[in-house]
Amino acid sequence: MAKNILICDDAAFMRMMIKDILTKNGYNVAGEAENGLKAVEKYNELKPDLVLMDITMPEMDGIQALKTIKSGDPSAMVIMCSAMGQQAMVIESIQAGAKDFIVKPFQAERVLEAVKKVVG
């Protein structure tokens, strides 16, 4: 059965790129969110198997959204996405419960490797 994935990134282009990589490889993109607040809303509504979460977003950043989602659902699976040079934020997100992180610009293989590692 295809895994349902929620994509959270403030850049529509990035969401489209990730969606393309996932759908071509048999994953189902359950929804998209353009900021952390929407990510939390969509997570609660859709209960996806996995969330791909950008760190830097308006209204609520990815780390805050991650913490909010994890406080409501400790078993939530989240992979963080960050630009180069955000090491401190990556460490903070792993401590907050992220399962992995992907560095932008994305390599399709790396995205799929991380997704497979977390949800199979």
**Which tens digit of pLDDT belongs to each residue from 105-119?**
888 999 999 999 999
The pLDDT assigned to 2 comes to: 83
Alpha carbons 39 and 46: distance in angstroms, whole number:
10
Please say if the pLDDT value at position 40 is more than 80.
Answer: yes
**Residue 15 CB-half CA count within 13 A:** 19
The residue to which tokens 């990556």 are assigned: 90
pTM summary value? 0.94
Asked if 108 and 17 touch (Cβ cutoff 8 Å), the reply is no
Please say if the pLDDT value at position 11 is more than 80.
Answer: yes
Confidence tier at 38 by pLDDT (50, 70, 90): very high
Which is more confidently placed, 106 or 26?
26
